[in-house]
Structure 1
Amino acid sequence: MRISRILFLAWIPVQYIAAQEIPARLNTAAVEKTIRFLAADEMRGRAIFSPEIDKAANFIAASFKKSGLLPLQGNSFLQSFTVYSAAFRGLTANADQKELSKDNVIVITGEPELEVTEKSSYTISTINAGSSLFQEASTAVNNGRNNIVLIDESFAQDFKRLVFFKRNFLKRAGSTIFILGKPALQTYTIRASHVIKAHPAANIAGILPGRSRKNEYVIFSAHYDHVGVGKPVHADSVYNGANDDASGTTAVMLLADHFAALKNNERSIIFVAFTAEESGGFGSQYFSRQLDASKIAAMLNIEMIGTDSKWGKNSAYITGFEKSSLGTILQKNLAGSGFTFYPDPYPKEDLFYRSDNATLARLGVPAHTISTSKMDHEPHYHQPSDEVATLDLTNMTEIIRAIGISAASIIAGKDSPTRVKEE
């Protein structure tokens, strides 16, 4: 049953009742109108670099402007940057006077032509059997150094998947060469050739300046990209991404309306819709580089809130709940409300480091993702069937309201979550 406005206000913590009048737009009708635009067939799945994702970006930017936000930087809500891709052209590799199979060498670089020898001062490391292949590979690619990484042959089946790292990337400070097997590498010569292409991309970011603590920030975020058009399933090839993550983007847009109407935030609030989450998290990575992490009080990333959680309605979970006090604060502010934030029930999925909160969390920010997605059973995840008709928009509206109310004391500067231990 949909909670009425009177009942909803009755379960707001007493100290926030006067401050938390609900703007007219924060209702199920507004949720439905917004998400139907973002997840329409005409948006063709909002794939990165597509005309449709540009249309979505302009829609979100117009909403931020109408809400009364200011652009986070400059005169535009679009935070533009460049994503690169590397198309393979050629490779030769020799080690210890033996030719290496091209199938056993993957070069991750932003250089069109690369030649590496034993005199090139590359750091050589190993990913041993039993390690986390993709986690360690990601660390090597993103550490800003020149690396050769020898990978145990037990990972032979997954080795080719490492080409993911060169499909799309931000500007690289170093190159990484993955080699399946463990040659001695006393002497070696590796030459690789790629066509490097540049692609424009943009986050949409607006700010509501704080009244007394303008240089302290609370962030509400979601990603607005999805996977586009793909393999047909039951004659449907548009992967609409209604839950993933038009639901979170809708929440951010309506929360911008909510707090802009209140005009009582002491800390500044940043609202951001990220691009390229589905392609490697490049939007959030770029965004994080533009801010001083020490000034961010909290980040509430919102992902996949359109379906009921495993506990049913009026509930959601927070990834990495135990890593800071953010979740405890949010739940305290909802005491007596009937709404509950739970710790992430899927720890084996490592969700805390798989969404757009991860970059800032690694810098110590209490940055967490709020979700209801049942990771053990989401039949529409990354399927053409992820459409608005499969969502519970009434419950989704209550989740958005709960997020806004639960963050009130942080926005007011009364609560400051503990920091995540830097990694």
Structure 2
Amino acid sequence: MKKTYLLLAVFASTLYSCQPKIESIISIDEVSRIEKTLSADDMEGRMIFTLGLEKAANFIASEFQKNDFPYLEGSDSYFQKFTMYKTIPEQISGTLDDFQLNSENVIVSTTKGELNLDSFSDYQVYSVAKDDIFNQSVFPLLRESKNLLVLIDPSHLENLPRLARSASRAKFPTEFSQIFIFTDNLDPKNIQLQIQNKVEESELKNVVAMIPGKSKPDEYVVFGGHYDHIGIRKSDSNQDSIYNGANDNAAGTTAVIMLAKYFQKMNNNERSLIFVAFTAEESGGFGSTYFSEQLDPDQIVAMFNIEMIGTDSKWGKNSAYITGYEKSNMGEILQSNLTGSKFHFEPDPYPKQNLFYRSDNRTLAALGVPAHTISTAKMEEAPNDEPNYHKASDEFETLDMENMTEIIKSIAISSQSIISGKDTPTRVEKLN
């Protein structure tokens, strides 16, 4: 019997020693190479519908290709494509009782080419009075899935350009329209409104690869992060105008690519692993929304969303926080797998920022998936927050590459019991 135990011990030791060391795969040099490429000036800030974003997508796909990752089941490439619609007002005319309506006082959020209103019957009517807080009263309505007519006191007219930009963003096709009218008549009796829009179609794409599971191929673990950022913006002379987004979120995308390479080399996943670089997070989370609709959420065991890990957390090096820590036991599982390690995960220290529903994990989380964001970003109120957040100064040189590499290693190690099928995180409560 002793001889049998000894042989088993020797076999296990030999098997473990045959596994590649994590440092040989997730190395600071390789992490730096990918991070530097994604956040370079020639990516032009990776804004949606730009050549810079296209270049970034092609680079991510090339990293998957040279490691010969399989496509997502049912796909014929690494690109998960979908169409967005943007409308440009060409003509707006009409009346609200005796008040003349035109492009200077009407904003429309729709994907329809033509709208004609002669009554309020098909629209839910809201009014925003002078004393109402504009941001809280108006912008949440853009996310509603119903026909809305919003009457806004002209004292809020200074917000019209910002509302126009938000309403005109590209969006998924929808049957619903939201119409915002700046008028001092908040209790009208009649409306006659004609709107003609030019509709433009544009393509966006996530970049997705997978490693099929050995014994549980229909159970999925997702590793994701968004690769888009906010592009090139006007600046004063002699100042940088490229918003490179090194931390936000070339860092998270780099982690996704490195984790894919690591798990492929380890070759020990019983569950299927999906690696996805999301598009259009900065514009409304469209990439992750579309991705979530292509899978059965009941088959997704866990999602690791990686966002802004290039700087030290509030606890210093070798630490990160998990948003929605209390909503499932996933964080406890990850920390347990790091017992004896110098690295530690913490609950989200910024609950007022509602970070759990502000990144690409949110759609899956709303469907009940234990989908959490791992981050180190300091998201307190200024001046203690990230100094380079959404600024042109968010560049490669501002990142701590050694610490970022350790974070990626810790995600790889802490997720082992989930990808092996040993641990299954509890589900998150679904949102209505």
Identify whether the pair has TM-score above 0.5, normalized to the shorter chain.
Answer: yes
State the 1:185 CA deviation: 4.3
Range with bigger deviation, 156-165 or 371-380: 156-165
Confirm or deny that 1:64 pairs with 2:64: yes
Q: TM-score, normalised by structure 1?
A: 0.88
Range with bigger deviation, 363-372 or 64-73: 64-73
The 1-side partners of 2:142 and 2:340 are apart by 43
**Contact 1:310–1:372 under 8 Å retained in 2:** yes
Structure 1 partner of 2:198: 195
**Contact 2:153–2:186 under 8 Å retained in 1:** no
The 2-side partners of 1:218 and 1:348 are apart by 28
Range with bigger deviation, 86-95 or 191-200: 86-95
**Contact 2:152–2:186 under 8 Å retained in 1:** no
**Identity over the aligned pairs, expressed in percent?**
49
1:137 to 124, 141, 146: 141
The 1-side partners of 2:354 and 2:59 are apart by 32
Structure 2 partner of 1:323: 327
Structure 1 partner of 2:97: 96
**Cα distance change on mapping 1:153 and 1:291 into 2, 3 Å:** farther
Structure 2 partner of 1:210: 213
Supply the AA of the counterpart residue of 1:45.
Answer: G
Deviation per CA, 1:137-187, whole angstroms, max 9, x where unpaired?
1331xx2x3232445778655454333132221222321123456733442
SS in 2 for 1:331: helix
Structure 1 partner of 2:77: 76
Structure 2 partner of 1:8: none
**Contact 1:133–1:155 under 8 Å retained in 2:** no
Supply the AA of the counterpart residue of 1:167.
Answer: R
Structure 1 partner of 2:180: 178
The 2-side partners of 1:355 and 1:309 are apart by 18
2:403 to 367, 371, 395: 395
The 2-side partners of 1:35 and 1:272 are apart by 16
State the 1:303 CA deviation: 0.8
State the 1:127 CA deviation: 6.5
Confirm or deny that 1:25 pairs with 2:25: yes
Structure 2 partner of 1:123: 124
**Contact 1:67–1:256 under 8 Å retained in 2:** no
Structure 2 partner of 1:356: 360
Larger radius of gyration: 2
State the 1:125 CA deviation: 4.5
The 2-side partners of 1:273 and 1:65 are apart by 14
**Contact 1:304–1:372 under 8 Å retained in 2:** yes
SS in 2 for 1:306: coil
Supply the AA of the counterpart residue of 2:60.
Answer: I
Structure 2 partner of 1:417: 425
Supply the AA of the counterpart residue of 2:88.
Answer: A
Range with bigger deviation, 24-33 or 154-163: 154-163
The 2-side partners of 1:125 and 1:212 are apart by 54
**Contact 2:224–2:305 under 8 Å retained in 1:** yes
**Contact 1:127–1:150 under 8 Å retained in 2:** yes
Structure 1 partner of 2:6: none
State the 1:341 CA deviation: 1.2
**Contact 2:142–2:178 under 8 Å retained in 1:** no
SS in 1 for 2:291: helix
Deviation per CA, 1:380-423, whole angstroms, max 9, x where unpaired?
12222211111000000000011111111111222222222222
**Contact 1:244–1:303 under 8 Å retained in 2:** yes
The 2-side partners of 1:177 and 1:311 are apart by 46
State the 1:314 CA deviation: 0.4
State the 1:103 CA deviation: 4.5
**Contact 1:87–1:167 under 8 Å retained in 2:** no
The 1-side partners of 2:16 and 2:113 are apart by 59
**Contact 2:92–2:101 under 8 Å retained in 1:** no
**Cα distance change on mapping 1:387 and 1:219 into 2, 3 Å:** same
State the 1:353 CA deviation: 1.5
Structure 1 partner of 2:313: 309
For residues 335-350 of structure 1, what are the structure 2 equivalents within 5 Å? 335-350=339-354
Deviation per CA, 1:293-338, whole angstroms, max 9, x where unpaired?
1211111111110010111000111112222222222122212212
Supply the AA of the counterpart residue of 1:147.
Answer: L
The 2-side partners of 1:20 and 1:235 are apart by 45
**Cα distance change on mapping 1:380 and 1:193 into 2, 3 Å:** same
Confirm or deny that 1:229 pairs with 2:232: yes
Structure 2 partner of 1:245: 249
Supply the AA of the counterpart residue of 1:229.
Answer: I
Supply the AA of the counterpart residue of 2:395.
Answer: E
State the 1:261 CA deviation: 1.0
Structure 2 partner of 1:383: 391
SS in 2 for 1:380: coil
State the 1:289 CA deviation: 1.3
**Cα distance change on mapping 1:410 and 1:149 into 2, 3 Å:** farther
Q: TM-score, normalised by structure 2?
A: 0.87
**Contact 1:68–1:260 under 8 Å retained in 2:** no
Equivalent pairs, count: 406
The 2-side partners of 1:63 and 1:126 are apart by 51
Supply the AA of the counterpart residue of 1:178.
Answer: F
The 2-side partners of 1:108 and 1:150 are apart by 14
Query: Considering only aligned residues, what root-mean-square deviation do their CA atoms show, in Å?
Result: 2.5
The 1-side partners of 2:332 and 2:138 are apart by 32
SS in 2 for 1:278: coil
Confirm or deny that 1:112 pairs with 2:113: yes
**Cα distance change on mapping 1:137 and 1:395 into 2, 3 Å:** same
**Cα distance change on mapping 1:263 and 1:183 into 2, 3 Å:** same
Structure 2 partner of 1:333: 337
For residues 143-162 of structure 1, what are the structure 2 equivalents within 5 Å? 143=145, 145-150=146-151, 158=159, 160-162=161-163
